[in-house]
Amino acid sequence: MSKKAKMQELNRFELRLSGLGGQGIITLGKILGTALALGHGYYVTQTQSYGPEARGGSSRADLVISSHPISYPKTENLDLLVALSQEACNAYYRYLKPNGVLMVDTSMVANTPTNVYKGLPFTTLAKDKIGLVQTLNILVLGAVTHLLPFAGQRRMKKAVEQALPPKIQEINIKAFNLGHREAAKHFGDAPAVWLEAEEMADAEEDTEHV
Amino acid sequence: MSEVTQLIHQYLRHNKKFPHVLCPGCGHGIAMGSIVRSVHAQGWSKDDVVVVAGIGCSGRIAVYMDFNTVHTTHGRALTFATGIKMAKPEMHVIVIMGDGDALSIGGNHLIHAARKNIGLTAIILNNNIYGMTGGQCSSTTPTGDFSMTTPYGQLEKSFDIVELARAAGANFVARGTAFHAQQLDRIMTTAFGRPGFNLVEVFTPCHTQYGRKNKFKNPVEMYKHISKTTMPLEAWSKLEPEKRAERTPVGVFVERDEPGLEERYMEMKKKLLGSAQ
Amino acid sequence: MAQAKKKRTEIFALGNEAVVEGALIAGCTFYAGYPITPSSEIMEIMAARLPRTPEGVFLQMEDEIGSLGAAIGASLAGRKVMTATSGPGFSLMQEHIGYACMVESPLVIVNVMRGGPSTGLPTSPSQGDVQQARWGTHGDHPIIVLSASDVQECLEMTVRAFNMAEKYRTPVILLLDEVTAHTREKIFLPEPGEYEILERAVPSVPPEWFKPYEDTARGVPPVAPIGAGYRTHITGLTHDPMGYPTQRPDEINTAMHRMFRKIDQFFDDIQLVDEFLTEDAEIGIVAYGSVARSARLAVTKARERGYKVGLITLKTLFPFPKPSVVALARKAKCILVPEMNMGQMSREVKRVNNGATRVRTINRVDGSIITPSEILKSITQV
């Protein structure tokens, strides 16, 4: 029995995580990519772009997710853009597909180029609700996991645990749950174009023994 | 003398076409003899000795000796030697370089090999000139001296190899001369038996390229000059400070016993592999 | 793209990480290097992994000249060695690449290409070092240059680089670009024994009979490692069969020709390409590295629109895979060569094409990868 048969059929789902250096964007991309590639069994390419600065400056991680081997590893037209800074939002909005989704950190992005977006004050939530601003990226991961119908919550959390040192796992899982919960509350369901196979993805996760 | 002849047969390559490239009066052969005698004194097997040489007259010495010999690139001999020692720590590594080789083009490698304290003996044959290339100035050509590229006199200062090596962290630093062969034997034998990075500077006259341009009538004059201008370190230290400038001290300047990089690396490995099991 | 086989270990890894996996699988026990973006992950992972292997030695040297010097020294002492760098460091290494060619020292150099010349674009991709890899060091010399376009290939081609280096007793250069090196992908780690691992030939005769640079039928003399009792002389001077410097024209001529012959006569073994939909191709694309992936997507999209396009992905860059490219040139009306430089590999394509068909170049030197759309546009314009 092929596990992939149960997976949602994806043909180059393109996703960009963008913001500032120091926000943990590359780590976020790495965890998301690992979970989707190893946990979920998709073909995933994750590329990144960075400047010479270790802190500050712009940071970006791109993922292509597909049910088939991926030729071109970078993104061209985004299905989902996650912007955690105003600059990133301004710079990358134009790469969104016509029916693509924009998700922003409303505590960082004051002006969105469109009224149609999903927004949560991620940085504020990380600071005030979790008490550790460094959990911002995992909080975002929780929200992204809610948005992506083909991403399983349990497997994503497993990837978080595997990627982070034991000392900070608990607080990050807390952040993940908060992100996921808030997204479920405020974003509603994933866009209709992504939705069709959600039940299949869920069904698959139910059979998984963690 | 017969003992020396015997050593020649034992340690020089019989299948290498002589004559050698060195000029009459060159001090390099004396240094080479000293290396052979010191290896013999250590009782090392020829198979376990590797001689790594750079480029220049000094670099050509390697080919005559019946060890594992590597004639490398200009200034980089120490990097090859570092690789060899780390790959096979049981080898006895001797590096032969010239002054232009070790200090000009290879200066960076020299200070880092000393800092790393890699276990080998670096011998710098200092003749104050680029000999093989035709007599251009080197970074040890004394101020005011003449060469093909300082026809109006050298304006720059020359490196003090001993002080440089000391500051860079070498375990052992000594200076000898081709005129004082027995002392040189003692220094080299000591250096060969020690851990970490050992540096021996050898004053060796080059009459062909340096002497002729700087008013030395013949090689013998140059050896006499070495004899007159050098002095054992102990005696030199007792000189009035203003008189010290006239003489160059010879002897052992630094003697530390820190373990070589390869030893420390093996220790680290042992710990890592031990904890993994 | 490598076929996924079941049961093998999967990891989600960077191209640079895959290089390390490949090197360790191939039996690399010595790494000497100097950090430089975008290759540094190779060095960092080697620093963590090698000391934990029984024989592994890791060294950080003072510069790239010293790194390759130390690597050659270790290779002469019998180790399988590697170093990794990028443009500026690769320029510094040229002196010792020549030395390695001359003394016939097996070793692997990974160059993760970034934008140049000079310091250029440290964090952006380029393919500007292709001809430097071929001709960078002075003097006539043969060289093997390999390339990889995806992460699995980074692993496979690193293993291949080691095998070629050991088999032909030569330095092998693996040219990656920043995109391939910094792409994360799921790859499969081979099971022990799954890949053929080659070792260098060692002398079968006692020391007194051994001639370290003797001309043999294969042209590849066995290597006596330092310390094995053979006490050979190794020199960057042109040498006779005993390894001693020579100025005799007959000995020089024999030595130089053997050095070329040992690579030339095994072209078939060394040259590796991947052909995609080339059988009926009217438009041919020749690409390598990450750009080959752009080209592959462009070919797929163009086929959907009815264009008969085929792609040759070069995995061996040098010796240049002439037969495959010539075969494509014979059947196609036009050959496109997309590359992130001002036209380096296209020179080779034009050379072997010899005017037979049109060759068009797609060049980009702004620090960005050539996109599938750009190639698709060129296809539709042919």
Over the stretch C18-30, which tens digit does the pLDDT of each residue have? 999 999 999 999 9
Closest CA to A141 of A76, A63, A67, A207: A63
pLDDT of residue B1: 58
List CB contacts (< 8 A) between C57 and chain B: 86-87, 265
Instruction: Say yes or no to pLDDT of A2 above 50.
Output: no
Q: Cα(C280)–Cα(C148) distance, rounded to whole angstroms? A: 25
| Per-residue pLDDT at B15 | 82
| pLDDT over 90 at B149, yes or no | yes
Query: Which residues does A contribute to its contact with C (CB < 8 Å)?
Result: 29-30, 33-34, 37-38, 43-52, 69-74, 76
Between the alpha carbon of residue B178 and those of residues B66, B190, B200, the distances in Å are: 22, 17, 12
With beta carbons under 8 A apart, name residues in chain C contacting B81: 73
Q: From residue C4, give the alpha-carbon distance in Å to each of A73, C10, C118, C296.
A: 18, 10, 40, 19
Most C CBs within 10 A among B39, B55, B64, B79, hence the mutation to make, goes to: B79
pLDDT at A205: 44
CA distance readout (Å), C71 to A3, B264, C24, C30, C58: 46, 20, 16, 7, 10
Q: What is the pLDDT of residues A31-48, one digit of tens each?
A: 999 999 999 999 999 998
- pLDDT for B14: 85
Residue found by looking up tokens 């950190």 in the block: A105
Q: What is the mean pLDDT of residues C289-315?
A: 98
The architecture of the domain spanning C273-381 is: 3-Layer(aba) Sandwich (3.40)
Q: Are A97 and A109 in contact (CB under 8 A)?
A: no
Say if CB C257 and CB C263 are below 8 A apart: no
For B132, phi and psi rounded to 5 degrees? -65, -35
Task: Work out the minimum CA distance from B62 to partner chain C, whole angstroms.
Answer: 8
d(CA A72, CA C298): 9
Domain map (residue ranges) of chain B:
2-276
Nearest CB partner across the interface for B84, out of C62, C74, C236? C74
Pair of tokens at residue C254:
């024999």
Residues of C in contact with B265 (CB under 8 A): 51, 57
* Residue B16, burial from CB neighbour count under 10 angstroms (0-12, 13-18, 19+): middle
How distant is the Cα of C81 from the closest Cα of chain B, in angstroms?
Answer: 10
Euclidean distance between CA atoms C131 and C345, whole angstroms: 8
Residue B224 has pLDDT above 90, yes or no: yes
> Residue B50: left if φ>0, alpha if ψ -120 to 50, beta else—which one?
beta
Would you state the structure tokens that stand for residue B249, as one six-digit string? 């001290």
Interchain contact C93–B (C-beta under 8 A): no
Residues of C in contact with A38 (CB under 8 A): 10-12, 186
- Which pLDDT score, from 0 to 100, does residue A191 have? 74
pLDDT of residue C8: 78
Q: How far is C131 from chain A (nearest CA, A)?
A: 25
Interchain contact, C70 vs B63, CB within 8 Å? no
Residue C96 forms contact with B (CB below 8 Å): yes
Q: What is the percent of chain A where pLDDT is above 70?
A: 85
> Is residue A201's pLDDT more than 50?
no
Q: Angle, to 10 degrees, between the axis of helix B28-42 and the axis of helix B2-11?
A: 80
Check if the beta carbon of residue C164 is closer than 8 Å to that of residue C80. Answer: no
| Long-range own/partner contacts, residues C248-257 (CB < 8 A, 24 or more apart) | C254/C215, C255/C213, C256/C140
pLDDT band of A164, cuts 50, 70, 90:
very high
Is some CB atom of chain B closer than 8 A to the CB atom of C66?
Answer: yes
Predicted interface score ipTM higher than 0.95? yes
Q: What tokens were used for B206?
A: 């080059």
- Average pLDDT of chain B, as a whole number: 95
Cα–Cα dist A99/A80, whole Å: 9
Q: Is C290 on the interface with A (CB under 8 A)?
A: yes
> pTM of the predicted model, to two decimals?
0.94
pLDDT of residue A161: 96
* Residue of chain B nearest C82, judged by CA positions: B83
CB pairs under 8 A between B and C: 132
**How far apart, in Å, do the first and last CA atoms of chain C sit?**
28
How many C-beta atoms surround the C-beta of residue C345 within 10 A?
26
Confidence of residue C248 (pLDDT cuts 50, 70, 90): very high
CATH of B2-276 among 3.90.1300.10, 3.40.1280.10, 3.40.50.1000, 3.40.50.970: 3.40.50.970
pLDDT at C257 over 80: yes
Per-residue model confidence (pLDDT) at position B276: 54
Residue with tokens 């004639």, as numbered in its chain: B71
Structure letter (DSSP) for residue C288: -
The answer to whether the CB atoms of B15 and C77 lie below 8 A apart is: no
C297/A72 Cβ within 8 A: yes
Name the DSSP class of B15: T
**Subunits in contact with chain A (3 or more CB pairs closer than 8 Å):** C
Query: Nearest to residue C105, comparing CAs of C232, C251, C269?
Result: C232
| Nearest 10 degrees: Cα torsion A116, A127, A35, A45 | 60
Report the length, in residues, of chain A. Answer: 210
Interface contact C182-A47, CB threshold 8 A:
yes
Distance CA C24, CA C197 (A): 11
Q: What average pLDDT does the segment B162-180 reach?
A: 98
Q: CA of C321 to nearest chain A CA: how many angstroms apart? A: 22
Bridge pairing between strands B197-203 and C30-33: unpaired
Q: Reply yes or no on whether the pLDDT at C350 is more than 90.
A: yes
Amino acid found at B143: T
Indicate the pLDDT class of residue A198, thresholds 50, 70 and 90: very low
C320 exposure class (CB count in 10 Å sphere: 0-12, 13-18, 19+) = buried
**What does the radius of gyration of chain A's CA atoms come to, in whole angstroms?**
16
Spatial neighbors of C151 by CB under 8 A, at least 6 apart, are: C13, C14, C15, C18, C180, C183, C184, C185, C187
How much is the pLDDT for B275? Answer: 64
Chains C, B in contact, 3 or more Cβ pairs below 8 Å: yes
Q: Does C78 touch chain B (CB under 8 A)?
A: yes
Band of pLDDT at residue A8, cut at 50, 70 and 90: confident
pLDDT (0 to 100) of residue C22: 98
Smallest CA–CA distance, residue C56 to chain B, in Å, is 9
Residues forming a β-bridge with A65: A13, A44
Omega of the bond prior to C319 within 30 degrees of 0, cis?
A: yes
User: Do C113 and C128 form a contact (C-beta atoms < 8 A)?
Assistant: yes
* Residue B209 confidence (pLDDT): 96
Q: Indicate yes or no: CB of B63 within 8 angstroms of CB of C233.
A: yes
Q: What angle do CA B201, B204, B210 make, to 5 degrees?
A: 125
Q: Under an 8 A CB cutoff, do C231 and B66 touch?
A: yes
Residue C346 scores a pLDDT above 80: yes
Distance, in Å, from the CA atom of C303 to the CA atom of C379, rounded to the nearest integer, reads 10
Q: What percentage of chain C exceeds 90 in pLDDT?
A: 96
What pLDDT, on a 0 to 100 scale, did the predictor assign at position B9? 87
pLDDT of residue A188: 83
Answer yes or no: do A50 and C123 touch at CB < 8 A.
yes
Reported as a pLDDT band with limits 50, 70 and 90, residue C194 is very high
- Helix/strand/coil for C336: strand
Residue C77 structure tokens: 């002492």
**Per-residue pLDDT, A68:** 95
Q: What is the pLDDT of residue B249?
A: 98
CB C281 within 8 A of CB C357: no
- Map out the domains of chain A with their CATH numbers: 8-206 (3.40.920.10)
A vs C, Cβ pairs < 8 A, gives 65
CB of C122 less than 8 A from some CB of A? yes
| pLDDT exceeds cutoff 90 at A81 | yes
- Average pLDDT for residues B182-197, to the nearest whole number? 97
pLDDT classification of A55: cutoffs 50, 70, 90: low
Q: Which residues of C touch B46 (CB under 8 A)?
A: 231
Mean pLDDT of chain A: 88
Rounded (5°) CA angle C32-C35-C38: 120
Regarding the domain with residue range C9-189, which homologous superfamily does it belong to in the CATH classification? Answer: Thiamin diphosphate (ThDP)-binding fold, Pyr/PP domains (3.40.50.970)
Residue of C nearest to A47 (CA): C183
- Is C227 in contact with B80 (Cβ distance < 8 A)? no
pLDDT tens readout for residues C118-140: 999 999 999 999 999 999 999 99
Which band of pLDDT confidence, cut at 50, 70 and 90, is reported for residue C216?
confident
Q: Is C373 on the interface with A (CB under 8 A)?
A: yes
Q: What is the band of C204 on the pLDDT scale with cuts at 50, 70, 90?
A: very high
Asked whether residue C291 carries a pLDDT value surpassing 50, the answer given is yes
Give the residue from B53, B47, B191 showing the smallest Cα distance to B132.
B53
- In chain B, the residue whose alpha carbon lies closest to the alpha carbon of C98 is B73
Confidence band of A199 (pLDDT split at 50, 70, 90): very low
B19 pLDDT band, cuts 50/70/90, is: confident
Provide the pLDDT for residue A4: 31
* Confidence at A57, pLDDT banded by 50, 70, 90: confident
